[in-house]
Chain A
Amino acid sequence: MMKRTMGENAHSRRRFLALSSAAVATVSLRSAEATPATMAAAMRELTGGAVVRAGKIKLDVPPLVENGNTVPLSVSVTSPMTAEDHVRSIHLFVEKNPQPNGGNFFLGPRAGRAQVSTRIRLADSQKIVAIAKLSDGSFWSATADVVVTLAACTEEVI
């Protein structure tokens, strides 16, 4: 009985070692890819650990894109845009591009309307997160999932 347990333990240890070395290999192969964890780290760098609430932001991006090289994207924030209450900045994060940062946009009360549009690259089907920093220091976010058929960013140069 005792012997069998030990044998099982040894077996599971070997399996664990094999699995973990496989995991290491996968990680090193995919080191040039942002992960949900690196995206979370990039967001933490922005917010400094402050609470990010869902709402106030509208993230407009097509749910299905054929070409990941140019994906039109628009972010708007519900805000009166006055000196007392305005959007300071809007930040874009992408989950599976080689880098988690998409863009930082800094505006102020003079903007009149808190809305920015641009075109981004998507290396894979993934989640996009927009975070707005308001003048009162609060953070608000919106997320969108995009399915990409032709990936961008890392394709081979011909």
Chain B
Amino acid sequence: MSDDMTAATGTTIGDTSRGTAADALRRADDLGMRTRQASRWYVRYMAVFGVGFGLMTLLLGLGPQDATGVVWWTVAVLVVWGLFVAAMVLWAVRRPVQGILCGRNYVPGWVGTGALYAAALFGGLGRDLPVWAWVLMALVVPVPLVAYAVRVHRSLA
């Protein structure tokens, strides 16, 4: 195999004809598309984190309300959350393709869910809210992150 001929393109493009140009273009577009598809894991990552934030809201809101119980419950839930976050981040950094769509373009999703989560906890904890109120907040908190997950999914389709 000559230096200008590769398994990846299958053609020599040093002397570019219409046919070899079209072939090189097609293969490059295919590689780009497959690489973007390989960054789809970020959709699952955002969706799972969104559901996790919702579950955290529910667990903290429906936990014991007495002074001693709330401390232990909160610590226990936060430890589980910390382990969950660590596992998710470790999984994410090991993905072979870190997509160009990841992170910065989807900050509003993270900020939105984070703000709703904080508002739910600061506004709800210690106020003896009914169960339905916590269930409602647990359903609302993930919405921004899940919405952006759907957006990523559609952009990669």
Q: Do A and B bind each other?
A: no
